[in-house]
């Protein structure tokens, strides 16, 4: 089946050229010319990739991306930015964009990024069928290889951090007490020192949550920790 790409771009000429090039490469493409209708289409139809301009009428590209991720939609997004400012890129990547290109871009470069984003998405879908992947939002843990990625970016964890993450992931949406964590991750009975867990959680959070917009690990005060899907 042909991969379907959504182009949200207000400059009609750019959108048209993109559509023609993508169709020539064997994709199907849909165009929306403003942020509001782009967001609506992205949320109601299924796409393999979204090319999202930042400067858009109605809603900015950053806002479209923020609302998309907030709604639990993790379709890969490549931002098209006219301004070559670091701020745009950082904000975009913080909100969960997978990649960006700066206008004016070389079509070949864009197509290469499109292929790479789509390959990443198919990889997740295929492996997910083999059940060796644990996925929450844009976090993917491969329990065969112990690889951890967020939004396609590799994250290096210590063995203990990995075990802790795995334990929270397997029990996602359930609050795990420090005693639960101590017994199951450290494997011995609770003996009063639980701040070691807080320290490990803090390290894990720094690696997993910093720079990725939406936090995965939540503290339930007086109780423990939980990874929430929503
Ligand atoms: Ca624009």
From CA 165, how far away is CA 91, in angstroms rounded?
Answer: 26
55 CA to centre of ligand 1 in angstroms? 4
Residues 72-130: pLDDT tens digits?
Answer: 788 889 989 876 666 666 666 667 777 888 888 889 989 998 988 887 777 666 655 66
pLDDT at site 87 = 61
1 CA to centre of ligand 1 in angstroms? 30
Which domains does the chain carry?
4-124 (3.40.50.2300), 131-227 (1.10.10.10)
Q: Would the pLDDT of 192 be above 80? A: no
Q: Would the pLDDT of 190 be above 80? A: no
Residues 144-186: pLDDT tens digits?
Answer: 788 899 988 899 998 889 989 988 998 889 999 888 888 778 7
pLDDT at site 96 = 72
11 CA to centre of ligand 1 in angstroms? 6
Contacts of residues 212-218 at CB distance under 8 Å and 24 or more positions apart, as own/partner, are 212/94, 212/96, 212/138, 212/150, 212/151, 213/66, 213/69, 213/94, 213/95, 213/96, 214/69, 214/70, 214/96, 214/137, 216/136, 216/137, 216/139, 217/168
Q: Would the pLDDT of 188 be above 80? A: no
Q: Which residue has the higher pLDDT, 109 or 36?
A: 36
15 CA to centre of ligand 1 in angstroms? 10
How large is the average pLDDT for residues 38-54? 95
103 CA to centre of ligand 1 in angstroms? 10
Considering the chain, what is the average pLDDT of its residues?
86
């Amino acid at each position: 089946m042909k991969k379907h790409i959504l182009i949200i771009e207000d400059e009609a000429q750019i959108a048209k050229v993109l559509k023609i090039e993508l169709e020539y490469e064997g994709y199907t493409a849909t165009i929306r010319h403003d942020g509001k209708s782009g967001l609506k289409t992205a949320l109601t139809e299924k796409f393999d990739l979204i090319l999202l301009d930042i400067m858009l009428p109605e809603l900015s590209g950053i806002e479209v991306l923020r609302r998309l991720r907030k709604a639990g939609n993790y379709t890969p997004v490549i931002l098209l930015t006219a301004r070559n400012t670091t701020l745009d890129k950082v904000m975009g990547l913080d909100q969960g964009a997978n990649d960006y290109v700066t206008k004016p871009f070389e079509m070949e470069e864009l197509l290469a990024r499109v292929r790479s984003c789509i390959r990443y998405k198919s990889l997740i879908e295929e492996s997910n069928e083999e059940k060796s992947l644990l996925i929450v939002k844009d976090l993917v843990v491969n329990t065969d290889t112990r690889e951890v990625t967020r939004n396609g970016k590799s994250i290096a964890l210590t063995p203990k951090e990995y075990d802790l993450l795995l334990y929270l992931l397997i029990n996602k949406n359930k609050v795990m007490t420090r005693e639960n964590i101590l017994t199951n991750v450290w494997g011995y009975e609770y003996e009063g020192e639980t701040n070691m867990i807080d320290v490990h959680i803090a390290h894990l959070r720094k690696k997993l949550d910093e720079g990725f917009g939406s936090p995965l690990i939540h503290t339930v005060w007086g109780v423990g920790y939980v990874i929430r899907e929503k």
